[in-house]
Chain A
């Protein structure tokens, strides 16, 4: 019971000096009923190093972006307590946001003082301050923040942590921004290094990642070896026909699936020890090692074309392609050179294309030099 009785009622009014207000809210403004700035927080003052804000009209210093349609200070005072967005009208037009709180307590009555001895003194002292306090309770209090402009403002106006109220997490936020950007930078560097390593590994690899076939590097290495060792071999250059249409019509997913299917067909048609390489988007080279007869190679070539012409299912769609092939044999040459043989096979391939695609041409050594 006793405790309940002694619980004090919350104070209806709390008075504070402007210095205290400045410490609690270093970015506050007090605006008188006439619209003149009569108190400025120390940090807010730092944002206008060459100007004095005190005594100036609030709307002359700031443009009010929110609430909308504020033409004079009376408009603002009519608002209830409301969030505001402001911008300095002159100089660096920094944006600010905060809370606007109108104050309408024109007749302040002081709580009765008890205790006779000090009575007289108190009333004498209270008389002049009553007026100023009463004036202080009209007008409006605005507490502002830099919002996301804080990074820029801190730098431009050389603010330090002492310029932010200890209860304000801005400094912690700046710490976090900095720590996170360092971590992000480190991660980016790591990613770049890993990407570099991946590219390098890919460059050094001998296989094509999509089809699992050998790649051009592997083909070059094999050809170099065969050329140096003087071993006989057959070389087939294959280029898909109508592949572009598959990509254009059904998309790259379909194209990729077709390429994998082609790889399967080609691997089926070679012997172990032979090599199939994907050397371009839809270009393949087959190397048949040892003494192979032209008849056998021709048989293989036509079989490959026939099998590639079979429709390939892609979801509900069916893709249709074919292939043109050019072939040459090391036995055609007195001194087989891999580069030249590649060129000759390529030439034969283009003869196939000229013949209307979907066919196989064997390079004719008699045409050499033409």
Chain B
């Protein structure tokens, strides 16, 4: 898979738990390299190895760590581009959740080699949604949970989220339910359509 994912995992471990811990993870996972390049590709099983090693090192289960990763992608300054690209989804949290369906194709336009899950959004009402994660590997649901939680803060929305799973067409599918209580609960973060880095 594209190194962007591996790299994000590495940055998360380094920024959250420090360089020393990352070195231990590298050793624990038995990786030959100690840093990933975002624009190169690496085997998928590296992700499992790193996640497994990280889980042992920080003594948290992988779902917990995955959720932390999701929130890291939105909130950490190093990952600001990710937050910005997500905010393109819409001007409100509701629009953002609905836009998750386009995420896969949008990302494909920019990075044809990056394979992200296809998300399917069922809107039960204007405040109640269910996002199904269609992906070749499981575990992304927890990352999505972290992303949705952090994006709610970003928009200033008050939400209740829950991760579950069910069989859809005989495939176990992760499902995240989103209940939007208040769209303008707090002041969200600023977002301009054009990033300063584009024009500078």
Hey, which bits of chain A sit against chain B, CB under 8 A?
151-152, 154-155, 158-162, 171-172, 174-183, 186-187, 190, 193
Contacts and interface: CB of A to CB of B under 8 A. Distances in A.
Nearest to A163: B193
A155 B194 CA distance: 6
B85 A178 contact: yes
A346 B195 CA distance: 60
A181 to B, nearest CB: 6
Given A155-B194, A178-B85, A178-B198, A183 B111 contact: yes
Contacts of A190: 37-40
A172 B91 CA distance: 14
A162 B192 CA distance: 12
Interface in B77-105: 81, 84-85, 88, 90-91
B109 A176 contact: yes
B110 interface: yes
Interface string B173-200: 0000000000000000001111101110
A193 B192 CA distance: 32
Contacts of A155: 192-194, 199
Contacts of A177: 198
B85 A175 contact: yes
Contacts of A193: 37
B106 interface: yes
Contacts of B91: 160-162
B: interface residue count bin: 20 to 34
A180 B114 CA distance: 13
B107 interface: yes
A106 to B, nearest CB: 42
Contacts of B88: 161, 171, 174-175, 178
Contact of B197 (A172, A180, A181): A181
Nearest to A155: B194
Nearest to B111: A183
Given A178-B85, A190-B37, 13 more contacts: A154-B193, A155-B199, A158-B192, A159-B193, A160-B91, A160-B193, A161-B91, A176-B110, A178-B81, A179-B106, A183-B110, A190-B39, A190-B40
A197 B37 CA distance: 14
Top-6 shortest CB links A-B: A179-B110, A175-B88, A155-B194, A154-B194, A154-B193, A190-B39
Contacts of A160: 91, 191-193
Contacts of A187: 39
Contacts of A175: 85, 88, 106, 110
Contacts of B4: 186
Contacts of B81: 178, 182
Contacts of A180: 110
Contacts of A179: 85, 106-107, 109-111
A161 B39 contact: no
17 contacts: A155-B193, A155-B194, A160-B192, A161-B88, A162-B91, A171-B88, A171-B193, A174-B193, A176-B109, A176-B110, A177-B198, A178-B195, A179-B106, A180-B110, A183-B111, A186-B38, A190-B40
A187 B40 CA distance: 9
Contacts of B84: 178
A55 B91 CA distance: 32
A186 B106 contact: no
Contact of A151 (B37, B85, B111, B194): B194
B109 A151 contact: no
Nearest to B88: A175
B111 to A, nearest CB: 6
Contacts of B110: 175-176, 179-180, 183
A159 B4 CA distance: 31
A270 to B, nearest CB: 40
Contact of A154 (B39, B90, B106, B192): B192
Most chain B beta carbons < 10 A, residue from A160, A171, A176, A186? A186
A155 B197 CA distance: 12
B39 A181 contact: no
Interface string B52-95: 00000000000000000000000000000100110010110000
Interface in B148-172: none
A182 B84 CA distance: 11
